[in-house]
Amino acid sequence: MKTVNVGLVGVGTVGRGVFEVLRRNCEEISRRTGREIIVSAASARNVRKAEEFLGSTVKVYEDPFDVVRDKNVDIVIELIGGTTTARALIEESISLSKPVVTANKALIAEHGNELFARARANGSIVAYEAAVAGGIPIIKALREGLAANRIDSVAGIVNGTTNFILSEMRDKGISFQDALADAQQLGYAEADPTFDIEGIDAGQKLAIIAAVTFGISIQPKRVYCEGITNLTEADIRAAEDFGYRVKLLAITKRKAGGLEMRVHPTLVHHKCVIASVDGPMNAVLVEGDAVGPTLYYGAGAGAEPTASAVIADLIDVVRLQGSDVAAHVPHLAFQEERLSDVPILDMGEVESSFYLRLRVRDEPGVLSDIAGILAEYKVSIEAMRQRESDANGEGVDIVIFTHKTKENSINHALKKISGLDAIYYTPARLRIEVF
């Protein structure tokens, strides 16, 4: 049986998970591939610590480029993250005709187009299943399993940190800051959580998903991103009272005028299966014309869930060794020369239903003023309810649910409503999605 030697660049949490799963499931994996796959080289900042973990059969380098240049290494697994050194490593691997497996979503989102073109020109592969949704095989599902379908939409929870925070706010009735502190204490959130809580992480993943779904280039700068930092306990509670839950959703849809790509907090009815996805879990809902709705659920991060996706890519790469590049599944699912330049819709043109919460003075005429402004901008009200006063008795909350309207219309209406003397604070606004 031929042995395939793997170079592991990065022996952190995920790198250790990859090594452990390969070691534990080596017999099962060899039965699938007809090859024995071993880690023969690795790189780590702390060489001694890595050697203690990996054992004497693995050559450990301090310089990650030494792994790429090791003549015994057949395939490179990049797990160091970032977009500078990691990019250079992958480019050198491609130049040496060594396939690469990566879990680096930021790199794929920002530089995937160039890396894929370079790999194809060199007859190589850059596999990236683990870059999106951890252990959920959503890239393979979109590229291969659903290849017969014209996919109309993909929507999902693709960031476990924010989903955990929102679950904590709902279940414990605590503030965003307290829920974030819990997430940091449990290791779900970084010391600097900006990347997660501002929706940037989910936006990068959505750019990749949209490219694979609709056959476009990866365009992270065209994704509208809105995080969860402004969410309050009052909005979480109000949503629950009306039968909704708040989720940070990554959404891409095919529309008559182009494609939507957006990440934002969203009200989802509690009866929708995606509303019940709690804690750090991920879920992605795909709507295809032939298959209908399909749901993919699982751990979106963690050592072994991510290792599961990395090794699945590794198995695919091993199977493809020696094959003609024309037989490979294209990196972005569609033939590169047939990628589309379909426009991405500006967020102002996107239509949604909306939840609005306004703190107002409890006096005659306020509701008619608000309703008049909404009507002026052609925003139709579906339901309206007055909620209890604050403990200090300062004003009342008015909760409004609208019918579908364009983002621009609601923005103009809220700007005018905010100028009313009877309004205490900037109105809260959340979009509603129906699946």
Q: Which two tokens stand for residue 357?
A: 């919460």
Bridge partners (DSSP) of residue 43 are 9, 61
Q: What is the per-residue pLDDT for 324?
A: 82
Mean pLDDT rounded to a whole number for the chain: 96
pTM comes to 0.96
Q: Is residue 390 very low, low, confident or very high in pLDDT (cuts 50, 70, 90)?
A: low
**Average of per-residue pLDDT across 276-290:** 97
Q: Is residue 322 very low, low, confident or very high in pLDDT (cuts 50, 70, 90)?
A: confident
3-137+303-338 to CATH, choices 3.30.750.24, 3.30.1130.10, 3.40.50.720, 1.10.10.10: 3.40.50.720
Say if residues 106 and 115 touch (Cβ distance below 8 Å): no
**Average of per-residue pLDDT across 184-193:** 95
Cα separation, 191 vs 219, in Å, equals: 28
Render pLDDT for 207-242 as a digit per residue (tens, 0 to 9): 999 999 999 999 999 999 999 999 999 999 999 999
Render pLDDT for 83-134 as a digit per residue (tens, 0 to 9): 999 999 999 999 999 999 999 999 999 999 999 999 999 999 999 999 999 9
Q: What is the per-residue pLDDT for 74?
A: 98
- The sign of the dihedral angle between the CA atoms of 90, 92, 93, 95 is positive
With a cut of 60, say whether residue 361 has pLDDT above it. Answer: yes
With a cut of 70, say whether residue 392 has pLDDT above it. Answer: no
Q: Which two tokens stand for residue 396?
A: 């009342």
**Residues identified as active-site:** 205
**Average of per-residue pLDDT across 312-316:** 97
What are residue 21's phi and psi, to 5 degrees? -70, -40
Q: What is the per-residue pLDDT for 79?
A: 98
Fold of 348-433: Alpha-Beta Plaits (3.30.70)
Q: What is the per-residue pLDDT for 343?
A: 97
Which strands sit side by side in the sheet containing 126-127, from one edge to the other?
Answer: 59-61, 36-43, 3-9, 75-78, 100-102, 126-127
Domain ranges of the chain: 3-137+303-338, 140-299, 348-433
Q: Please state which of the ranges 31-45, 325-339, 366-380, 388-402 shows the lowest mean pLDDT.
A: 388-402
**Average of per-residue pLDDT across 189-199:** 96
Cα separation, 155 vs 172, in Å, equals: 26
Render pLDDT for 132-149 as a digit per residue (tens, 0 to 9): 999 999 999 999 999 999
The proportion of the chain whose per-residue pLDDT surpasses 70, expressed as a percent, equals: 99
Q: How many whole angstroms from its chain centre is CA 206?
A: 5
Residues 6+ apart with CB under 8 A from 329: 143, 144
Q: What is the per-residue pLDDT for 386?
A: 86
Q: What is the per-residue pLDDT for 38?
A: 97
Q: Is residue 327 very low, low, confident or very high in pLDDT (cuts 50, 70, 90)?
A: confident
Q: Is residue 393 very low, low, confident or very high in pLDDT (cuts 50, 70, 90)?
A: low
Q: What is the per-residue pLDDT for 21?
A: 98
Say if residues 223 and 206 touch (Cβ distance below 8 Å): yes
Architecture in CATH of 140-299: 2-Layer Sandwich (3.30)
